[in-house]
Amino acid sequence: MSYPPELKTLIRLVEKTRPQRVERAKRGEAFPALTLAEREARLKQFHPDYRLDAKRPLAVGPNRGDSLPVELVDLLESHSRLDLDAVRLDRVDIDTDVLIIGAGGAGTAAALEAAQAGASVTIATKLRHGDANTVMAEGGIQGATAETDSPCYHYVDAMGGGHFSNQPDLVETLVKDAPVAIEWLERLGVLFDKYLDGRLRVQHGGGTSRKRLHSCGDMTGAEIMRVLRDEARNQPGIRVLEFTPALELLLDECGRCAGAILLNLETKELYVARAKAVILSTGGLGRLHIQGFPCTNHYGATADGLVMAYRAGIKTCFLDSTQFHPTGAVFPEQNAGLLITEKVRGLGAQLLNRDGEEFLFSLEPRDVASACIIRECSEQDKGIATPAGRAGVWLDSPMIDQLHGEGTVKRELGAKYLQFQRFGIDIGREPMLVYPTLHYQNGGLEIGVNGETSIAGLFAAGEVSGGVHGKNRLMGNSLLDVVVFGRRAGLAASTYAHEAGTPKALSLDHVRSFERELAETGISDGNVGPMLLPNYAPEHIRARRVAMQVP
Amino acid sequence: MAFQDRVSIQFMGKTYRVSKESTLMEALLETGWESARELGCLGECCGACAVLYRLPDETHVRTGLACRIPVQDGISFSLVGRYPCPKPTYDLATIDDPKQALFDLFPEVTGCRKCGSCVQACPQGIDVMRGIWCAVFGDFQSVADLFVSCVQCGLCVCVCGAGLRPFLVAVYASRAHGTLMAKQSSDLGTRIHQIESGAYKDRWNVLLRQIKSSPPPAE
């Protein structure tokens, strides 16, 4: 397929400026970085987080008045999927010590710890065990294991990355537990890249002052998930219910969390699951496509845990900030949203506008680079239009071979090379078209250092929780987050379950009172939540779906 | 978008017209097809969308991932879903002889007839057959290296005439290697001990004070 003629013509402009740009780069000259004040101005004017018309204040719930992305507010203000008068809670279908909702990295790590501590564990998950963003994490997992590093440096870096908004005790826990987490994974059989003598190999990631990123090739998350899932399946005390998402949390007579209503996606049966403790590890919101951005997330990232917990009264934090990765592919259309790793820019590829000219320092932080690209494609009108109507800028990957020698692109960026070669584009010879893509939910449910929430018996870990990364997460800290806080939540939930005992009465009264609050504020747009699955059917197909009742 | 080229695809026997610029999975979503099955990361990492497909001029069935294969006119395909493949359970901590345990857990592993179907079927281009023989001969390190990009789609199981479960063999061999055979990292214990014995306590307190009392340092 390759690039159509009109784009080929524009590529010639890139080729024309390339020799001088390579020369300058070889001399160590770079496009001037923005000053702090300029960065601030760019972010305010162009970063999607700052677009006021894309946000709306919440009218109900514990965060009433907070201005959040409208797509999320629609969901947080949605009605329950349950017919509250018809649901029967007197027949318990599943009885377990610890119920874990969501089976990605955090949920599975939690399950292993809870089972180890002697609890019976049930994992309920919407898709398959392990279908989660964890499996897609390419870069690595941070941890101050190197001799030249220390947890203190890790702490400062994580806080700096989050613009010092992070919750300090969570960050302290994250960095102090990191080496233990790495050791735990290693003992389970995760094969990190190592030197011959067994020392762990570490690399730099964006915003790290010391080399601290541990990887397993460019499949770190996949390797971690393969191992955790395999170990969970070895445990007789862990039961996994796939294709069985939760619809609502259940509370007991004292307002403690006591289980959840689960849905069998295939038979549409509801199950009443009673648990002494519940862990939410449902992941993030990428598939809400905030402001219409494409996303890098897996199919199930629809913020289900946020919706259920919010109805139960759990406060959220930092949900006004979403992480956009500056370089998502926009061409060919089949690759739209595909993550182009930061490594490409790390290797020297520059971002260029339609005239083949640089418009930013290539290694600006993620949020600033995103803002600059959006500015170039809007106010500056120097973007490149794709045949499908998307806008983007060039990421000049052919520079890499010219800077580091023929074959570097193929060797260092093997997976990306193949993903484009399939469509007749050799990224060692032709540049890629990129635009910011939705990547990560920075905030989430408020938690303490053991994943505990303001409701007794309810814990949360991983992307669904907030505070660890403040307003902006650094590369490699999310894999660490799921392992550290997943394990902590698992252990704490099992201890709590042991002390709390079996809940007596099960109740959905919190959902009733949330519905009352919705009614009082006059919200009646018919949204229901949690979303469970994104709806990608085009408008003309939806229009043909006439109303029908399922018996 | 409205006037872009469209192609004809056959999905499980039904014909749809979809935009030319899509993968099989994107084409399915465009038709309004809804399912929770066979949909995972949509980014070639998870193996949920294993697919059997046939191109119009070919007589053989190909295998792949639906999130990756571009549509073309006349392509017909079915999603595989989860191929039946029971996983043996084990406790690595109690295994004394990991090489022998392989044969106890996967007795069929020596039955490989070297037909190479698994190598052809693997969407990740893994030399599955070589990996199996490495496992049989106890070279677990090579198994781990060969299978590093395995997405566990199960297509190798689906095509194996001898009933092998290659991707599960790989997980076992790779974990056994990491846990029981590979050199554990030497430096980790020291760092963990430092943290647990409070070696960073003073530094920590200074740090927290600095961060609290001064505005964020300039980058």
Return the DSSP state at A323. Answer: E
Q: Which residues pair with A452 in a beta bridge?
A: A459
How large is the angle between the packed helices A509-521 and A304-311, nearest 10 degrees? 90
How do residues B154-185 score in pLDDT, each as one tens digit? 999 999 999 999 999 999 999 999 999 988 88
- Please report the number of interchain residue pairs, chain A to chain B, with beta-carbon separation below 8 angstroms: 189
- Chain A residues whose beta carbon lies within 8 Å of the beta carbon of residue B92: 188-189
Q: Which residue of A lies nearest to B91 if distances are taken between CA atoms?
A: A234
**Per the CB < 8 Å rule, is B40 touching A217?**
no
Instruction: Look at residue A196 and tell me whether its pLDDT is greater than 90.
Output: no
- Chain A residues whose beta carbon lies within 8 Å of the beta carbon of residue B50: none
Residue type, A320: D
Which pLDDT band holds residue A54 (cuts at 50, 70, 90)? very high
In this complex, the residue of B89, B175, B208 whose CB is nearest that of residue A189 is B175
Which pLDDT band holds residue B1 (cuts at 50, 70, 90)? very low
**Per the CB < 8 Å rule, is B195 touching A339?**
no
Q: In sequence order, what DSSP letters do the residues of chain B get, joined into one string?
A: -TTS-EEEEEETTEEEEEESS-BHHHHHHHTT---STT-S-SSSSS-TTEEEEE-TT-SS-EEEETTTSBP-TT-EEEE--PPP-PPPP--GGG-S-HHHHHHHH-GGGGG-----HHHHH-TT---HHHHHHHHHTT-HHHHHHHTTT-----HHHHH-TT---HHHHHHHHHHHIIIIISPPPSSHHHHHHHHHTTTTHHHHHHHHHHHHHSPPPP-
pLDDT of residue A384: 97
CB-based contact A263:A86 (threshold 8 Å): no
Residues of A serving a catalytic function are 325, 345
Return the DSSP state at A194. Answer: B
Instruction: Look at residue A524 and tell me whether its pLDDT is greater than 80.
Output: no
The C-alpha of A275 sits at a distance from chain B's nearest C-alpha, in angstroms, of 26
Instruction: Look at residue B204 and tell me whether its pLDDT is greater than 90.
Output: no
**Per the CB < 8 Å rule, is B40 touching A299?**
yes
pTM value is 0.94
pLDDT of residue B217: 46
CB atoms within 10 A of CB A169: 11
The C-alpha of B113 sits at a distance from chain A's nearest C-alpha, in angstroms, of 27
pLDDT of residue A336: 86
pLDDT of residue B216: 47
The C-alpha of A55 sits at a distance from chain B's nearest C-alpha, in angstroms, of 28
Which tokens go with A137? 């994490």
- Chain B residues whose beta carbon lies within 8 Å of the beta carbon of residue A299: 39-42
CA B64 to the chain's CA centroid: 12
**Per the CB < 8 Å rule, is A189 touching B4?**
no
**Per the CB < 8 Å rule, is B195 touching A126?**
no
Q: Which residue of B lies nearest to A225 if distances are taken between CA atoms?
A: B46
CB atoms within 10 A of CB A283: 33
Instruction: Look at residue B218 and tell me whether its pLDDT is greater than 70.
Output: no
